[in-house]
Each structure stands twice: as structure tokens, then as C-alpha cells.
Structure 1
């Protein structure tokens, strides 16, 4: 490893329905091509290893649901505050460790529900943020996947949204954050709610903004 080489830690597991191994494997060659030495962990115990976290320039998490211990969560939060980037997509980052408020304050959002099944819907980029490096040069795009209803922190930089149409329970449309970034002291956090299944990343815009988000979050 050269002195210039960066280190990425991929933490994957939890509920198998989000295919954490198959989907994170899509991005390992990209990380290596962009100068990262990649380490993969299938246990949250890695979050108790302060030295490994501090040595990581980027943590990519794909771990849906499950439970995180206070010691593991504190290790993760401490590392990000000190400058380690944190990034992920869909339930692997925002449907993880439900009810842990400090974890939600790290990510900036928590999944609440999604309509049954997959739907064709538009992801709209926030025009005022069109120059952000994660979405620069991209346009609104269509996906066929789950659409997440989120509870989000007011202190996030929303880059893309989805819209929930009025229905029998809700007489008005609701615009929902779908992609955002944030900073947590010295660390950067990237979240995309898109990515339930591997072919979601066959949509060029989804793949591009996810790859850019990973690089943006890295130290």
C-alpha cells in the first residue's frame, strides 16, 4: 500500500432481503479503481475497533435492521466525527438499528414505510443544488423500485426527492428526500434511499450518483 492509497471499510449484513453481499460487490472494483484498499466486514464488532475505524477514510454500510450495541454505535459516531466518511443506500443505511436515536442523528434520516411492492416513479434532482458534485450534470430520472417514506433531520443537504401522490389517507402530495449529504463535525455522510435490488443500479443515474456519493464522503 502506498502512502497515497486510501482505505475503505465495507460493513455488510443484517436482513438478507437487501442482498448486502451482491450489491456491495458491485462497488468494490470501483473503489479499488479509485485508489482505495478495501476491507470487508460481516460483523458489527468492527465498530468497536477504534484503530481500524480511524485508519479508514470511508465506511460503506449495507446492514438492514438488526441491533447495534451502544459501544459499536459510539465507535462509529466517534470515527465519523473525527473525519472518516460514512455512506450507504436504501435500508442498509436508513433502515438500520431502528430506535437508536444517536445513529439516526448520524445518518440524518430514518425509514418509516414504503407502499407495497415496486413502483415506477421519478426521482427529481433539486435544481438549487445542481452544481453539487454528486448530481452535477445529471437530470431527473425514472426508477422501478421501492419508494421510501422517511423521517429526516432538518440539517441535511437534500439533492434529490420523490413525490407521494395524494391517496385515501393523505389529501395532498408530499415531497420526500431521496438523496442527501451532510457533515458531522469533520466527517461527511452520503445517503441514497434508492437500492433495494441489484438492478436498481443498472439505471445509469443511480449508479453514477451512488459512486459519486461514495467518493464525496471519503476523507
Structure 2
């Protein structure tokens, strides 16, 4: 199976370093990998049609109407789509079909980098054997689709800049079927340090395989 890694955008999320963390893992599971450093790859229907898994790490920026249509149509036709943090949740805000496919959009992270807990919320192949774990990173506050299959959540404490968020339970990781395709999203992954935290890495690796339809 071919995995298409699309990476770039805002450098603060280190898209090259973050996606490189998973190259060996994907190759060990039989993937051949093609890397694109421009959203223009979504204009190439041949490249999209050859991809069984699309891994996107692109913060900020916009899709053209054609790029959005090509990507969404390919996933709906059977490709897996997976990604984390701003690489999937903070891009293409004006792209309604993309936003619906992903199932959420980033709004803000109150308090910046904060200590919080990720709670496992569902039994699923992605979460098997995982238990709640602490993290120190951005706690993403998102608008999310109520139809998501939520795998993990976090509860906001309510920092001074956003006290109204106190007690809010927010999805951290989720899956959703999308036509014949599968979508996996995690809000964790600001930097390589976040993604190498063992439970976060396990969650992400399994999410990539799940999106591709592999055990």
C-alpha cells in the first residue's frame, strides 16, 4: 500500500520532523511512502488515486476548491486519512467539505502549554491496553462533530483567560467512517517531543493503521 505524506505550512509544528517519526513504522507495515511538500499534490488525481493512506501535517493555509474536492472525494472513495494537531485541525477553515470529513476544527488552547490528563473513552483497536495518561502540552479546544467515534477526551480546568471552559470534556482522539474511507484524528502532536511520548505514539501509530484498514 502507498502512503502519501503531505507536510508543510507553519514551521512551528515541525511538520518534517514530526512526520519523519512515522516513516520507519509505516514501512515496517508494508507501506511505500511518497512525500509531498506542497498542497498542490491534491491537484494530482493520479497520485491521490494511488494512495491507500493520506497522512497530512499542514498547519495554516487554504485549499483551492479543486484541491478540497479531490482530497475529500478520494477519501470518500476508500483512502484512509489521518493526522494530528494543527496539521489537520488548523487548516482549510473555509473548506466546509474538508471540515466535515475531518470532524473538527481547532479554536484555541487556553493557557498555552498546560498539565492535563488524556482519558481513554472507548474500547477500540486504537486504544486497546491504553489507560489515562498525563501530558504537558497544548490542550486543544475544538468545535467537533457530535457523530464522532470518540476514543479519548480531556477535561478543561478553566484557566483565567477562559474560565468558562472549566469542566468541559473535549475529544482528544477520534475516528469516523467517511464513505468507503476511514478518518483518524488526534489533537496531540505539537512537536516531536509530544509524539514520542509512549502512549501518544502508540495511539498515533494505531490510528494510522486503522485509517488504512490494517490491523
- Give 3-state SS (helix, strand or coil) of 1:61's partner: strand
Q: Is 2:188 aligned against 1:194?
A: yes
| Partner Cα separation in structure 1 for residue 94 and residue 125 of structure 2 | 32
Shift of residue 116, structure 1, vs aligned partner: 3.4
Q: 2:108 aligns with which of 102, 108, 113?
A: 113
Shift of residue 52, structure 1, vs aligned partner: 1.3
| Partner Cα separation in structure 2 for residue 11 and residue 69 of structure 1 | 15
Q: 1:178 aligns with which of 163, 172, 183?
A: 172
Partner of 1:9 in structure 2? 4
Q: 1:152 aligns with which of 140, 144, 149?
A: 144
- Do the aligned partners of residues 125 and 55 (structure 1) sit closer, same or farther apart at CA in structure 2, a change above 3 Å counting? same
Shift of residue 171, structure 1, vs aligned partner: 7.4
Runs of 4+ off more than 3 Å: 166-169
Partner of 1:122 in structure 2? 117
Kindly provide the CA deviation profile for residues 97-133 of structure 1, in whole angstroms up to 9, marking residues without a partner as x.
Answer: 122211110100000110232111100001xx22x00
Kindly provide the CA deviation profile for residues 130-186 of structure 1, in whole angstroms up to 9, marking residues without a partner as x.
Answer: 2x0000111000111100001001111000001112455417410000000001100
Within 5 A, what are the aligned runs for 1:48-59? 48-59=43-54
| Partner Cα separation in structure 1 for residue 34 and residue 158 of structure 2 | 45
Give TM-score scaled by structure 1 length.
Answer: 0.93
Give unpaired runs (5+ residues) of structure 1.
Answer: 1-5
Partner of 2:14 in structure 1? 19
| Partner Cα separation in structure 1 for residue 165 and residue 187 of structure 2 | 24
| Partner Cα separation in structure 1 for residue 146 and residue 70 of structure 2 | 24
Shift of residue 212, structure 1, vs aligned partner: 0.2
| Partner Cα separation in structure 1 for residue 137 and residue 24 of structure 2 | 25
| Partner Cα separation in structure 1 for residue 126 and residue 25 of structure 2 | 15
Kindly provide the CA deviation profile for residues 180-215 of structure 1, in whole angstroms up to 9, marking residues without a partner as x.
Answer: 000110000000000001111221100001000000
- Give 3-state SS (helix, strand or coil) of 1:52's partner: helix
Q: 2:211 aligns with which of 203, 211, 217?
A: 217
Give TM-score scaled by structure 2 length.
Answer: 0.95
- Do the aligned partners of residues 171 and 195 (structure 1) sit closer, same or farther apart at CA in structure 2, a change above 3 Å counting? closer
Partner of 1:134 in structure 2? 126
Q: Is 2:60 aligned against 1:68?
A: no
Partner of 1:3 in structure 2? none
CA RMSD of aligned residues (A): 1.2
